[in-house]
Amino acid sequence: MGWLEKLRMRLRALRHGEEVHGEIAEEWQFHIDLRTEENIRRGMTPEEARQSAEQHFGNAGYIKDVSWDVRGGGIMETLWQDVRFGARQLRRSPGFTFVALLSLGLGIGGNAVIFSLISTILLRPLPISHPEQVFAIHQGKEKDASYSQSMSYPNYKDIRDRNAVLSGMAVYRFDPMSLSHNGSNERVWGYLVSGNYFDVLGVQAFLGRTFTVDEDRTPNSRPVAVLSYGCWQRRFGGAPGIVGSSIQINGHSFTAIGVAPPGFTGTESVFTPEFWVPSMMQEWIEAGSGLEGRGNGQWLPFGRLKPGINLEQARAQLNTVARQLGQEYPKTDEGMSLRLTPPGLVDPNLRSAVIAFSGALMLTVLLVLLIACTNLASLLLARATQRRKEIAVRMAIGATRARLAWQLLTESVMLSVTGAAFGLAIGQALILVARASLPRTDFALTLDLRMDWRVVSFVVALAVVTGISFGLVPALQASRSDVVFALKEDTSGGQRRAWLRGALVVMQVALSFVLLITAGLTVRSLEHTEALGPGFDPNNAVTMSVDLGLQGYDEKRGENFYQQLAERVRVLPGVKSAGWIARLPLALDVSTTDVYPEGQAEPRAEEMPSAIYESVSPAYFATMGIPIVAGRDFAGSDIARSPGVVIVNETLAQRFWPSQNAIGKRLHSGNTDVLEVVGVVRNGKYQSLGEIPALMVYYPLTQVYATSAALVIRTSVDPGAEISSVRSEVQKLDPQLPIYDAKTLKEHMRLALFPLHAGAMVAGSFALLAMVLAAIGIYGVMAYSVGQRTHEIGIRMALGARASDVWKMVLKQGVIITAIGMVFGLVCAIGLSGVVASMLYGVSATDPLTFLFITLLLSAVALAACNIPARRATKVDPVIAIRSL
């Protein structure tokens, strides 16, 4: 019999037990009847014949038991009995069940959310065929540790054609584009991709078709686009006639040739493009061409491994090609080295940061779950003590220890599985909250958190493991009880269990202390960062961006536009000043350039200082509230024909010309001529609030032109109201020009603060959760202890103890447990301070204020939790307590 047949047989016995019993009985009756007939033939009386037949058959009861073991429900029958019994037991003590389920649900819910984050970013494979064969190709230098997914078009073509390990290699590039639809222009994000992009990924069009390689051979020849499913649904109402119709991108007509399948949003795990356009159309999409120039690494390559080629073989062979290129084109490609990493997160540093961050989160929620499970174990222990008599009776009538332990374990697994169901519901709710609280960005970022099968199986596995591991000790404890002593109400076993429960609570207090400290430090770090500020004044200012490149402006027209709009806006009522910057600080990324002071030999590549650069207009610094500490602001006279000038920040001035006046000094920057420093401005934050002070170089927008820029407007009144009047000024200058990213500077700051806010919120809520769970734990232990000591308290009171004495006595017990827990927690928190310090900014990992505050908070909560049972103890009526003895 195969296992499946066996299972079917067991299930049949379980569901149709009567029928199976009937079959067995019928078979045996037949046997006895035949034997009786035989006996009669041999000359016995019918009476004798039947008796003899039954005698020969043996002990029918025993045989029936043995048969049922073989043919009946077996282990499943036992399990089913236990489940029904357990459900009855849990229903009978709803308070216990509720607290256990709540603790578990909260603990498991937190785990579900964090795991879904990890699943979304790191685990969920791309919805493409054989995603495990697809790898992002990262380029770097042999000697340099910094790799990034970038490559020039000529190098891409050579590596694609020369390698023998990839079945296909494609490149792509994110680009903002202006989409005209229903008379309005909107700036959206799309991909420029090589013609084989969809083929290499193995993605079929949902509607129409994807690109052919021929469509991506000649620059500016085939204006075609593939829409994402979301774009087609949202912007074109899912109209089936979209294929073959014309859409307007950057004022050019593109033919929509197909729609990508739902769920496919390119290769980045958090980015959703609106459409894909062939790479050869780059000039129509953005100014300048990235198709030429071997040093122009602006494309993001990926490849699919040939079947049978492993990662190591592929890496080795690709690097052989890279070395060939290095010999052929030493100027750009010398020392080029390639790596393969799973796709999804552009920057390898980002990847490791995400792994570290989610690892820390996972650890936190597992700790919270541990605290929740401690409550569960503690409750189970208490129940085991209450049920000592029931268990003893069952043992006395012959239940084995293993059978009892098995039964208690079934109960705890039932609890944890139900808790997991609660947890999934709580997790789903938390995910909805998290989705709603993600900041809006100009960039098409999405974090598609979902309860996928990975999350569900993780949660179920977690539930079973916790159910077994935290049910095991109480189950073994309970089944070890001595029948005779238990029936006689012996309490020594109870005392041992009380000790174990106390130890569990100590652990809970210690763990929640550590979590609270971490959360407290994170909040302090956030406060500090906010207090320190971004280096500009985010109050009473608005910003909005335009992308002139998308509208085909040349440099001269663009400069005119920037100047005219600034002048028109400055005279608007309520506007104090206005200025342009190519890209706002604390946006998602920055551009950097090589810099070194004049009069110094050009440093070698490894030692070349790197500065962040931006182009700004006159009055930008005044508008942002960035003080100019020396020299002057840019002026209308700094134009293309006049000598090149820069303004630098204090850090750069300090580094290049320590204790000298930087004004009038000159520096080399990128490929430009030597530039003269005309001003020094106060340091600020450019990429993130937590960054270490960076070197910063500002160019005049009139000398280093930018095709897109943000206008910053300082207002004296409500900044939000200013947006519409500025918008109408733009309309007057160019009715076609889309405005994007209009917001107050404070709103802009939210993006920069988001990681800190999110970190503080997550750490804070988990720490609070841990504290609540610990409070439940303390309360449970104290309430139980008071219940156990009712007689003793009654006697004390009869002998003259006052209510306040009893109250103090009970409270003292709770205070001791809490104090021990907090000492352990303190030791752990100090031990962990090295790890925690790396995540903090501007606050010490052993910040005394935080430690003091958390100690007081936890003490207060613990006292409150002890107070309820202590009050109850004072209400003990000595007469009743002693009489019930």
Partner 1 sequence: MGKQKPELPQGTLDMLVLKALSLGQMHGYGVGQRIGQLAEDMLKVEEGTLYPALYRIEQRGWIKSEWGVSENNRRARYYKLTRAGRKQLGVEEAKWSHLSMAVGKVLRTV
* Residue ranges that bind partner 1, judged by CB under 8 A: 1-2, 6, 9, 23-24, 26-28, 30-31, 33-35, 56-60, 63, 66-67, 69-71
Dihedral pair phi/psi, residue 108, rounded to 5°: -75, -35
CB neighbour list of residue 579: distance below 8 Å, 6 or more residues apart: 566, 616, 617, 618, 619, 620, 621, 622, 623, 624, 711, 712
3-state secondary structure at position 838: coil
CA distance 103 to 426: 12
Nearer to partner 1 by C-beta: 31 or 440?
31
CB neighbour list of residue 407: distance below 8 Å, 6 or more residues apart: 82, 85, 86
Other beta carbons within 10 Å of 427: 26
Q: What would the DSSP string read from start to end of 34-92?
A: HHHHHHHHTT--HHHHHHHHHHHH--HHHHHHHHHHHHS-HHHHHHHHHHHHHHHHHHH
Query: Rounded to the nearest whole angstrom, what is the least distance from the CB of residue 38 to partner 1 in the complex?
Result: 9
Nearer to partner 1 by C-beta: 23 or 144?
23
Nearer to partner 1 by C-beta: 24 or 476?
24
CA distance 738 to 722: 17
Q: Half-sphere exposure of residue 829, counting CA atoms within 13 Å on the CB side?
A: 29
Q: What share of the chain is helix, strand, coil (3-state, %, to 5)?
A: 55, 15, 30
Task: Classify burial at 623, counting beta carbons within 10 Å of its beta carbon; exposed 0-12, middle 13-18, buried 19 or more.
Answer: buried
Nearer to partner 1 by C-beta: 23 or 673?
23
Query: Rounded to the nearest whole angstrom, what is the least distance from the CB of residue 78 to partner 1 in the complex?
Result: 18
Location of structure tokens 């069940």: 97
Q: Say if residues 876 and 797 touch (Cβ distance below 8 Å).
A: yes
Nearer to partner 1 by C-beta: 57 or 499?
57
Query: Rounded to the nearest whole angstrom, what is the least distance from the CB of residue 30 to partner 1 in the complex?
Result: 5
Whole-Å CA distances, 868 to 784, 814, 864: 12, 11, 7
What are the start-end ranges of the E strands in 297-409?
Answer: 300-305, 336-341
Nearer to partner 1 by C-beta: 26 or 567?
26
Query: Rounded to the nearest whole angstrom, what is the least distance from the CB of residue 61 to partner 1 in the complex?
Result: 10
Query: Rounded to the nearest whole angstrom, what is the least distance from the CB of residue 63 to partner 1 in the complex?
Result: 4
Nearer to partner 1 by C-beta: 26 or 292?
26
- Please give the single-letter amino acid code of residue 821: G
Whole-Å CA distances, 731 to 252, 562, 565, 727: 21, 14, 10, 6
Nearer to partner 1 by C-beta: 66 or 588?
66
Nearer to partner 1 by C-beta: 6 or 435?
6
Query: Rounded to the nearest whole angstrom, what is the least distance from the CB of residue 400 to partner 1 in the complex?
Result: 21
Q: Say if residues 623 and 578 touch (Cβ distance below 8 Å).
A: yes
Nearer to partner 1 by C-beta: 72 or 110?
72
Nearer to partner 1 by C-beta: 35 or 583?
35
Structure token digits, residue 182: 């229903």
Query: Rounded to the nearest whole angstrom, what is the least distance from the CB of residue 137 to partner 1 in the complex?
Result: 55
Query: Rounded to the nearest whole angstrom, what is the least distance from the CB of residue 81 to partner 1 in the complex?
Result: 21
CA angle 598, 686, 283 (to 5 degrees): 80
Nearer to partner 1 by C-beta: 28 or 807?
28
Nearer to partner 1 by C-beta: 54 or 292?
54
- Please give the single-letter amino acid code of residue 2: G
Structure token digits, residue 517: 């400290």
Query: Rounded to the nearest whole angstrom, what is the least distance from the CB of residue 10 to partner 1 in the complex?
Result: 10
Q: Say if residues 251 and 178 touch (Cβ distance below 8 Å).
A: yes
Q: Say if residues 666 and 675 touch (Cβ distance below 8 Å).
A: yes
Query: Rounded to the nearest whole angstrom, what is the least distance from the CB of residue 258 to partner 1 in the complex?
Result: 56
Q: Say if residues 798 and 885 touch (Cβ distance below 8 Å).
A: no
Query: Rounded to the nearest whole angstrom, what is the least distance from the CB of residue 77 to partner 1 in the complex?
Result: 15
Query: Rounded to the nearest whole angstrom, what is the least distance from the CB of residue 66 to partner 1 in the complex?
Result: 4
Query: Rounded to the nearest whole angstrom, what is the least distance from the CB of residue 318 to partner 1 in the complex?
Result: 55
